[in-house]
């Protein structure tokens, strides 16, 4: 589902710092992190895999908040330093809206400035990455805004697209405001009064140089169009009817198979890996719904038999779907004092 979506390799530094703070060697995880230099564009699927790996090492509720609070401007690359050089928080937020693709090239961001407040929100046009990556990203965003200014600030409200966890109190404590779940968009809203807050390390001369660099990096990124979104939607629809084929997807998109192959190649995508990534992302979502039986999930993912789904899921995660679901259920139901 997340083929063609990327994050900055600089974010690996955030995970290194979290592991250091936890006193964890985690050699396998660190080896995977080391494969991505700060100036690399890391596939979003790899970022999600790294977060899942850390969740296996550090199984705790609201893990993304603990990771996100370790963020520093260097973890956002040139955009982080550009924010530090702005005059006000409002200027920094506008730069964030323009250059966010340098850090997170996934679901597009919208920044709405009105008298009642400033809303920064992300939709789900390219899918829902999940609770852990979303809470990591929003916790990191909130932490960065606090680092930029000289006084403590809190959001007015935070909304997530994901289902509510059993205990929402850690989120309200961390963000210092009401936090709700199961919304159409992930949103952070600040008071409009915060826009005029001065940035702690503002430097107009440095800002001009960093903005020039950010513009160059932004123009170097591949341009987005509606093709990838339409392709993923077609894959999901056809999965519900069985195993998708390149020819069948091409027919659904009203193009020839050769044209579809060419468009995939232009985006450095391949049909079979994209199909598998889509299935894997959907499997995680479906397994989180206790109302869906494993046989139903297998059919929704285009498998004719549950056994085929189980083999594929074990290949992806090293676990059976039943074990994965049972582990998730135990994590949600286990009392906080025991975690």
From CA 202, how far away is CA 88, in angstroms rounded?
Answer: 8
Q: What is the CATH number of domain 6-220?
A: 3.90.1520
* Average pLDDT over every residue of 33-38: 93
Phi, psi of 235 (to 5 degrees): -60, -45
Q: Residue 97: how many CB atoms within 10 A of its CB?
A: 15
Helix axes of 12-22 and 44-57: crossing angle, nearest 10 degrees: 10
Whether the predicted pLDDT of 3 surpasses 70: no
Whether the predicted pLDDT of 335 surpasses 50: no
The domain spans of the chain are 6-220, 227-333
132 half-sphere exposure, CB direction, 13 A CA radius: 19
- For 227-333, the fitting CATH number among 3.90.420.10, 1.10.3260.10, 1.10.10.60, 1.10.1040.10 is 1.10.10.60
The pLDDT tens digits for 162-198 are 999 999 999 999 999 999 999 988 999 999 889 899 9
The pLDDT tens digits for 306-315 are 999 999 888 8
The pLDDT tens digits for 243-252 are 899 999 999 8
Whole-model pTM above 0.75?
no
The pLDDT tens digits for 42-60 are 999 899 999 999 999 999 9
User: What is 27-70 written as a DSSP string?
Assistant: HHHHHHHHTS-TTSEEEHHHHHHHHHHHHHHS--TTHHHHHHTT
């Amino acid at each position: 589902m997340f083929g063609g979506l990327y994050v900055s390799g600089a974010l690996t530094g955030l995970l290194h710092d979290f592991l250091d703070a936890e006193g964890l060697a985690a050699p396998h995880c660190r080896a995977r992190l080391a494969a991505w230099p700060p100036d690399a564009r890391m596939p979003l699927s790899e970022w999600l895999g790294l977060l899942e790996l850390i969740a296996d090492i550090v199984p705790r509720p609201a893990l993304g908040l603990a990771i996100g609070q370790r963020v520093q401007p260097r973890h956002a690359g040139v955009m982080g330093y550009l924010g530090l050089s702005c005059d006000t928080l409002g200027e920094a937020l506008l730069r964030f809206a323009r250059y966010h693709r340098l850090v997170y090239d996934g679901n597009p961001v919208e920044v709405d400035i009105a008298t009642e407040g400033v809303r920064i929100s992300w939709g789900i046009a390219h899918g829902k990455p999940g609770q852990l990556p979303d809470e990591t990203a929003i916790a990191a965003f909130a932490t960065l805004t606090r680092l930029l200014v000289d006084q403590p600030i809190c959001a007015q409200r935070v909304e997530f697209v994901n289902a509510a966890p059993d205990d929402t109190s850690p989120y309200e404590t961390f963000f210092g405001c009401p936090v709700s779940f199961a919304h159409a968009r992930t949103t952070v809203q600040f008071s409009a009064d915060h826009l005029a807050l001065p940035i702690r390390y503002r430097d107009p001369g440095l800002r001009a140089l960093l903005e020039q660099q950010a513009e160059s990096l932004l123009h170097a990124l591949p341009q987005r169009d509606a093709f990838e979104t339409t392709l993923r939607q077609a894959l999901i629809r056809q999965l519900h009817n069985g195993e998708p084929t390149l020819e069948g997807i091409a027919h659904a998109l009203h193009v020839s198979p050769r044209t579809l192959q060419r468009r995939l190649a232009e985006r450095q995508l391949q049909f079979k890996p994209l199909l598998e990534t889509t299935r894997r992302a959907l499997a995680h979502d479906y397994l989180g719904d206790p109302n869906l039986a494993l046989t139903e999930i297998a059919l929704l993912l285009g498998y004719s038999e549950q056994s085929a789904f189980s083999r594929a899921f074990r290949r992806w995660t090293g676990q059976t779907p039943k074990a994965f679901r049972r582990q998730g259920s135990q994590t949600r139901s286990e009392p906080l004092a025991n975690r």
